[in-house]
Amino acid sequence: MPYISVTALSHPGLRREHNEDSLVVGPWTLCATVTENPQTMAFPLGRPLVVAVADGIGGQPAGEVASSLVVRRLALFGPALDGEEAVRDALGMCNHAVYAAADRAPELSTMGTTVAGVVILEQELLVFNVGDSRVIEVGPSGDGSAGNGGPAGARAATDDTLHQLSVDDSPALARGRRTTSIITQALGGAPAFSAITPHVSRSPLTPGTRMLVCSDGLTDPVLDNEIDDILRAHDGGRAVFELWKAAMAAGGPDNVTIALVSVTG
């Protein structure tokens, strides 16, 4: 029977006082807290399953409140996210909810969050994001546990494993810079309401697909080729643990949340 496996971890990193990232996997949410070890969940393929990471905007108040609010709403909306318009509408409602919460409490003014994730349908994959958190298609692992026959499995062994599916809402990078902390849109994050234009795409779902959903606490400090090497060598909990270790070895400058999604069948 085809099923979806999701392994996730969330950690504040080494330099932040607390975690402003939140995570949703189906009905399960992890809001601005810490997992000591990667957690793995399995779901049957069929009804819409949402997996998303929300990264509260640093340097502004209550990022953890904004990210928690968004993932909890996505958990509620999840079973109804059956197409691109449904996802766009849900993200629009999340944006309104963040601004409404900030309007009710002055200490929450300008709070905001990015969000990136996937909705896995029976035969299709929906990818969405607002901000710079990422969804990355991942090739098969070297241990053979990620399945065969999908687009990733068809790539030559010399190809890069990673293919970014999300669209970074960031300005063009200056020469010599690999990353930036500036984002051009978010859910909330401004003194007055600002509408969003979510990035949403769809593609056929093939057994063997693996996807990495993560905050920039992973992708900023850890080079793509290192992430690639880890995901070639490992899958599941070992892969997520090694990715987290790589972020800590690179200084752990930010909160890091990782969800590795595998579709088997």
Average pLDDT on 227-245 reads 96
- State residue 24's pLDDT score: 98
- State residue 156's pLDDT score: 36
What confidence tens digit (pLDDT) does each residue in 54-95 have? 999 988 889 999 999 999 999 999 999 999 999 999 999 999
- State residue 181's pLDDT score: 80
Lowest mean pLDDT among 119-133, 168-182, 215-229: 168-182
Q: Residue 157 pLDDT > 50, yes or no?
A: no
Q: Phi first, then psi: what are they for 214, rounded to 5°?
A: -155, 160
Average pLDDT, the chain: 91
Average pLDDT on 219-230 reads 96
- State residue 143's pLDDT score: 61
What confidence tens digit (pLDDT) does each residue in 7-49 have? 999 999 998 889 999 999 999 999 989 887 999 999 999 999 9
- State residue 142's pLDDT score: 65
- Give the predicted TM-score (pTM) of the model: 0.92
Lowest mean pLDDT among 92-101, 125-134, 151-160, 227-236: 151-160
